[in-house]
Structure 1
């Protein structure tokens, strides 16, 4: 596969959107976190902030604000991961401002506290307004429990956070929720997706449907594997060795984690069963229908 083209550190993507790379490249971050300035006026919304302790990002953000003669109105965080929320305190400290920081509240554990400002916890369908731009929140869990996307109404653009990435697939925390979130993006029907990592997605319908098709294909493979071995309860790694033919062994652990997410979803769908959460069998109902 050809290497992805390098993204500029700073790029105006449209009349209303400027992308600033988070200067934090990594295996799961591609060239880094995409952060976005949104609006057309003198004060704009910043979507996500990258990691903490990245002075290069603060320098890039300052350069962007100076180049376009604008300032920050507020900060919006798509989810709690440190490469999205981590830069909040550094930004507030660098600019000497206690910016409003909005996100959806985590339920399983408390949100990581901020030192320089406070969270404003918002709900699904919340709307942010700034000059030239209206951003509508759509709760979009699966990657994380608190994840949301933003719909830029004026241009029919979706900021997808980490639900959809530009150039790779994403890590999933809850596959059942994630699949619904993919369909929710399809239902919005955006013309373009600006992802949390990677390149701009100009064919969003095809891309999101591709994500769905891939997951559905893997689900059918797992069900077929369990049916073929219906007399033996199987662990995720047992399934990996049958389904992930040709995949390098050093990737088998990640594949097993992926299979486990599928099994948990299929359990909720009443298609598989497990007495201990470790070994799995196809449900009697599914066995008779396959």
Structure 2
């Protein structure tokens, strides 16, 4: 969940830049100080008949206004989507809402393994022992959540769909009665998300868009963080376009290191091997940080290391597609012969 300096993509960048996955795996939504505060969200809010959002009570630069948990259904038995990170305030709010709704929990459904979505499981089970907890790639004591599995209570039929990318176990849930999608952390209410594998993530975004069918412009998305998105399919399409734009920026940056004759040769599949200037390193291959400094030149340099993780993901994807190659023992990257085509 961004880098056209005068355009709308800059603000989300400042929310969501993060380091490579193995740098800080639990804090997976990294941001800097926002130019303006995020709009406040109520601790508890009825978003639609059959859907109540209960914030996890954990606002911060990694979690935006906090983790969204959702109580879904209209009858005496409800489904809970995600559990926050285990704050006492969240558990108290859930207890209060269930009492006011005169409802009990049929099951808890976890979108993925990150602590800010699963940390409340222990407290939930202490309060409501025996509640089934479902997760893809379940941990000890949990039940499975499989692709295509249906969870049903009065007013809510939820179908799980495996959508890896943000994490390998990531699931979204399609709400049949309202044509809405609970997107987990694949799509957020502010900015863009992060991912473990770019190609897998984009494929999952495409699948999520297909889940909506022909509801473009009329279907809601309930994200793992941030406000409700009234045009879920449109937001997903925006994410897909953004990823394509970012890939194109990387390709154009690598191409800009070459003189015009060399660029034409690479596009034609010839490749001169000529050493030229253009990136400050004296060669036609770029380090990751050189690419970052070029693409993110209007972003504070303190954020460049965080941006490097996303650039590496793009380069790895392009490498698998045969469009870039590693050189100098993996220290630098350059366009591959025959890589002149654009991704857009």
What TM-score does the superposition give when structure 2 sets the normalisation length? 0.77
Instruction: Provide the residue aligned with 1:246 in structure 2.
Output: 298
Instruction: Provide the residue aligned with 2:265 in structure 1.
Output: none
In our comparison, the structure showing a higher alpha carbon Rg is 2
Shift of 1:2: 4.8
Which structure ranks higher in relative contact order (CA pairs < 8 Å, sequence separation ≥ 6)?
2
| 3-state SS, counterpart of residue 305 of structure 2 | helix
How large is the RMSD of aligned CA atoms in angstroms?
1.6
Instruction: Provide the residue aligned with 2:116 in structure 1.
Output: 83
How far apart, in 1, do the equivalents of 2:221 and 2:98 lie? 23
Shift of 1:277: 4.4
How far apart, in 2, do the equivalents of 1:73 and 1:151 lie? 17
What do residues 42-82 of structure 1 show as CA deviations (whole Å, max 9, x unaligned)?
11110000003x11111111011011111111110000000
What do residues 138-196 of structure 1 show as CA deviations (whole Å, max 9, x unaligned)?
11111111101000001001000000100121121111111111111221226000000
Q: Is 1:5 aligned to residue 39 of structure 2? A: yes
CA contact (8 A) 2:136 2:145 kept: yes
Q: Is 1:262 aligned to residue 318 of structure 2? A: no
What do residues 3-38 of structure 1 show as CA deviations (whole Å, max 9, x unaligned)?
332111111111111110000111121111000011
Instruction: Provide the residue aligned with 2:207 in structure 1.
Output: 184
How far apart, in 1, do the equivalents of 2:130 and 2:211 lie? 33
Q: How does 1:51-200 map to 2 (within 5 A)?
A: 51-52=85-86, 54-95=87-128, 97-105=129-137, 111=139, 113=140, 118-189=141-212, 191-200=219-228
CA contact (8 A) 1:236 1:257 kept: no
How far apart, in 1, do the equivalents of 2:59 and 2:236 lie? 24
| 3-state SS, counterpart of residue 79 of structure 2 | strand
Instruction: Provide the residue aligned with 1:21 in structure 2.
Output: 55
| 3-state SS, counterpart of residue 90 of structure 2 | helix
2:334 to 281, 286, 289: 281
Shift of 1:258: 1.1
Shift of 1:216: 0.9
Instruction: Provide the residue aligned with 1:219 in structure 2.
Output: 247
How far apart, in 1, do the equivalents of 2:200 and 2:331 lie? 21
| 3-state SS, counterpart of residue 170 of structure 1 | coil
Instruction: Provide the residue aligned with 1:36 in structure 2.
Output: 70
How far apart, in 2, do the equivalents of 1:208 and 1:254 lie? 23
What TM-score does the superposition give when structure 1 sets the normalisation length? 0.91
**Structure 2: runs of 5 or more not aligned:** 1-34, 259-274, 276-283
Shift of 1:282: 1.3
Shift of 1:207: 1.5
Bigger shift: residues 268-277 or 208-217: 268-277
| 3-state SS, counterpart of residue 319 of structure 2 | helix
Q: Is 1:45 aligned to residue 73 of structure 2? A: no
Shift of 1:278: 3.9
| 3-state SS, counterpart of residue 151 of structure 1 | strand
How many equivalent pairs are there? Answer: 278
How far apart, in 2, do the equivalents of 1:2 and 1:241 lie? 25
Shift of 1:211: 1.3
Bigger shift: residues 86-95 or 184-193: 184-193
Shift of 1:233: 2.6
